[in-house]
Amino acid sequence: MRGCWRAAAAAIGAGGGRAAGRGRCLMAKSKFEYVRDFEADDTCLPNCWIVVRLDGRNFHRFAEQHEFKKPNDDRALHLMTRCAQTVMQELEDIAIAYGQSDEYSFVFKRKSKWFKRRAR
């Protein structure tokens, strides 16, 4: 570990605050900057649809608190639909959204550049 720290410190000293040969900024005050060298490229393929699925968290408890009727309460369906509409108005790169159970999926346009098309 000390060898990696020394290598990172040498890169900082030689590169004026940037990783040697990389041209990108180092993690602020971190001795773990070298970890970035092991990151896999997670860029989505160009000209492909990107689907982002949002799954409900603690939806059962939320449904109980608001006394939603099973299996499909109109208030819950309208709430989820309105939330999806709001997301689509804010993010113009979304082509379509659809819901199923307690989750919603958003399909981004093929030409979308959101988050530099990174998967994470």
pLDDT at 23 over 60: no
pLDDT at 47 over 80: yes
Q: How confident is the model at residue 66 (pLDDT cuts 50, 70, 90)?
A: very high
Quote the CA–CA distance of 5 and 31 in Å, as a whole number. 6
Domain residue limits, the chain? 2-38, 50-117
Give percent of the chain with pLDDT exceeding 70.
76
What pLDDT shows up at residue 6? Answer: 43
- In 3D space, the residue among 108, 83, 107 whose CA is nearest the CA of residue 93 turns out to be 108
pLDDT at 13 over 60: no
pTM: 0.62
